[in-house]
Amino acid sequence: MRAIVIKSWLKDPSDMEVKDIPVPTPKENELLVRVDSAGANFFDILMVQGKYQIKPPFPFTPGAEFAGTVVRPSRTDTRFKVGDRVFGSNVTGAYAEYIAVPSIQCFHIPSTLGFEQAAGMYITYPTSYAALVLRAQIKHGDHVLVHAAAGGVGIAAVQIAKALGATVIAAVGSEGKFDICVGQGADHCVNYREPDWADKVLEMTQGRGADIVFDPVGLIEKSLKCIAWNGRIVVVGFAAGNIEKVAANRILLKNVAVTGVHWGAYVKNEPDKIMEVWNALFGLAEEGRVKPVVYEPVLYGLDKVKDALKAIANRETYGKVIVKPAETPSKL
């Protein structure tokens, strides 16, 4: 089969090469999935350069999210059969025609979604749902300020907050992304590259401020200027590359709660919450109230993964960037 193969740390993701390698042999708890669509992530860039917290042994195939068809079921998990449409995630292996993956890291694709939509859902949607519902305790009528609102977790947060009855203020780095956010349910948009964006949020909330700030960027300090009394800030990530130090007196002044979300760590710490979150998301997906947004153009061929990662690094993308490994996959 064709796969991206990393044999040593790369200087740049554009050095990635597609090779012919054997189809992986699944262990008894694993499914063999023919990958229809792979979801690209910023951390793929770091991983192939050896700069990510996880450093897989060589050789490895990067790519953490996929959707496709089961071609060999697990011997220990009867939930999946040959031909089932599934999506899932693994530390490595998705930038390939086939992936062998533990069945517990897979779900059936909701009937309302296609492969391309499902391929980018595994990380972003539960993160955003857990942030808003478990951590920020979102309520109907809340004003929710979503930073990086056109990005992977951001766009999911816009849809989820809207579905749960909030008024959504989408904050992005360029006005070109306003239409995308409005299309996903945002009520207002601001450009956080403009110095007065926090004043605009205050205007949009009649001076009260946002009840919830969803922050995957690193904008806590500035968001404290436009947060409401009893506001909740959820730290989701640091896309701007800077980890803030926040003056604690500003947290006290407006009775603010600052909280974090680390979705990947729920497996270890609160595994019972995982299906609670997914069942809620599957319900919203089946009702058509959340629908993953796929960046256009969808890229065809594994040699296009480098283009996907370049577009992400340049902040050109919205939603999830999807790569289709092969129109006609290698025979098993």
Ligand X SMILES: NC(=O)c1ccc[n+]([C@@H]2O[C@H](COP(=O)([O-])OP(=O)(O)OC[C@H]3O[C@@H](n4cnc5c(N)ncnc54)[C@H](OP(=O)(O)O)[C@@H]3O)[C@@H](O)[C@H]2O)c1
Instruction: Judge contact between 74 and 26, C-beta under 8 A.
Output: yes
Compare residues 179 and 286 and give the one whose CB is closer to ligand X: 179
Both tokens assigned to 45: 């860039």
Say whether residue 186 binds ligand X (CB under 6 A). Answer: no
Compare residues 33 and 153 and give the one whose CB is closer to ligand X: 153
Q: How many residues sit close enough to ligand X to count as binding (CB under 6 A)?
A: 28
Say whether residue 153 binds ligand X (CB under 6 A). Answer: yes
Say whether residue 309 binds ligand X (CB under 6 A). Answer: no
DSSP one-letter string for 176-238: GGHHHHHHTT-SEEEETTSTTHHHHHHHHTTTS-EEEEEESSS-HHHHGGGEEEEEEEEE---
The residue type of 329 is P
Residues 21-60 that bind ligand X (CB under 6 A): 42
Compare residues 26 and 120 and give the one whose CB is closer to ligand X: 120
In whole angstroms, the minimum distance from the beta carbon of 261 to ligand X comes to 5
The strand pair at 106-108 and 85-89 is best described as antiparallel
In whole angstroms, the minimum distance from the beta carbon of 314 to ligand X comes to 9
Q: What are phi and psi of 255, to 5 degrees?
A: 60, 40
Compare residues 146 and 302 and give the one whose CB is closer to ligand X: 146
DSSP one-letter string for 271-306: THHHHHHHHHHHHHHHTTS--PPBPSSPEESGGGHH
Residues 56-115 that bind ligand X (CB under 6 A): none
Nearest to 8 by CA among 45, 54, 52, 60: 60
Instruction: Judge contact between 80 and 32, C-beta under 8 A.
Output: no
Say whether residue 176 binds ligand X (CB under 6 A). Answer: no
Compare residues 212 and 312 and give the one whose CB is closer to ligand X: 312
Of 39, 110, 151, 231, which lies in the binding site for ligand X, with binding defined by CB under 6 A? 151
Say whether residue 154 binds ligand X (CB under 6 A). Answer: yes
Compare residues 152 and 185 and give the one whose CB is closer to ligand X: 152
Of 152, 185, 209, 292, which lies in the binding site for ligand X, with binding defined by CB under 6 A? 152
- Tell me how far apart the alpha carbons of residues 329 and 171 are, in angstroms, rounded to a whole number: 40
Residue numbers of the site for ligand X (CB under 6 A)?
42, 123-124, 127, 148, 150-154, 172-174, 177, 216-217, 236-241, 261-264, 312, 315
